[in-house]
């Protein structure tokens, strides 16, 4: 089962703003936002995931280095 991090981010955003767009309209369901919007959320979610992975690797390396000294 694939995890759709873009959909998770989109839905979390929707919850955080009360399900409304900036102009008070209802946020559409994920299936109805269109490929362009889905691709944009995917790019944002992947950027965050990549950042978190690089931080994880850095911290893992730093932690291992502590044991070498």
The answer to whether 27 and 20 have CB atoms below 8 angstroms apart is yes
Residue 26 is given by DSSP the state B
Domain range for residue 58? Answer: 5-68
* CA dihedral for 27, 31, 37, 41, sign (positive or negative): positive
Partnered with residue 20 across adjacent β-strands are 26
Q: What is the pLDDT of residues 10-52, one digit of tens each?
A: 999 999 999 999 999 999 999 999 999 999 999 999 999 899 9
pLDDT of residue 20: 97
What's the structural domain count of the chain? 1
């Amino acid at each position: 089962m694939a995890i759709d991090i873009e959909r998770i981010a989109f839905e979390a955003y929707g919850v955080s703003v009360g399900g409304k767009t900036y102009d008070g309209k209802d946020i559409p369901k994920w299936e109805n936002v269109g490929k362009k919007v889905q691709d944009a959320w995917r790019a944002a979610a992947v950027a965050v995931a990549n950042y978190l992975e690089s931080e994880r690797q850095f911290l893992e390396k730093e932690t291992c280095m502590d044991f070498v000294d």
